[in-house]
Amino acid sequence: SAVISQKPSRDICQRGTSLTIQCQVDSQVTMMFWYRQQPGQSLTLIATANQGSEATYESGFVIDKFPISRPNLTFSTLTVSNMSPEDSSIYLCSASGGNTEAFFGQGTRLTVV
């Protein structure tokens, strides 16, 4: 199983600012994903981070709001831009080696004030 390090683990940010979340995997993985989990809700997929190309976003999520980078097979970042209180959530990075289970980072608990 892959070990995923995600940081920061939590942050409190002012509205209108941006936060970049980093995700580092201890081995090369095929797929990396970013999820959001609102309080008491399940995981909602934001996008698939593609190595060497633009991320693939799910309905309701756009690149201008959630730019994603994936410069190599072990690292990805998610930026939450121009934040508002509605962006307060837990953001989770996930990695998968293909037709296998997905593993998760520790999550980033974001509060926008």
Partner 1 sequence: QKEVEQNSGPLSVPEGAIASLNCTYSDRGSQSFFWYRQYSGKSPELIMFIYSNGDKEDGRFTAQLNKASQYVSLLIRDSQPSDSATYLCAGSTGGFKTIFGAGTRLFVKA
Q: How crowded is residue 31: how many other Cβ atoms within 10 Å of its Cβ?
A: 16
**Binding window for partner 1 (CB under 8 A); candidates: 12-20, 28-36, 62-70, 73-81:** 28-36
Which is nearer to partner 1, 67 or 107 (by Cβ)? 107
Instruction: Report the C-alpha gap between 8 and 86 in whole angstroms.
Output: 19
Residue 25 neighbours by CB under 8 Å, 6+ apart: 2, 3, 4, 5, 32, 73, 74, 75, 95
- Which of 52, 60, 85, 98 is the binder for partner 1 (CB under 8 A)? 98
Q: Report the nearest approach of partner 1 to the CB of residue 16 (Å).
A: 27
- Alpha-carbon span 17 to 30, nearest angstrom: 31
Identify the residue whose tokens are 């920061």: 8
By C-beta, is 69 or 106 nearer to partner 1? 106
What mask, x for binding partner 1 by CB under 8 A, covers residues 32 to 71? -x-------xxx-x--x-----------------------
Q: Which of 25, 29, 83, 92 binds partner 1 (CB under 8 A)?
A: 92
What's phi and psi for 20, nearest 5 deg? -110, 125
What minimum distance in Å lies between the beta carbon of 76 and partner 1? 14
With respect to partner 1, which residue has the nearer C-beta, 17 or 28?
A: 28
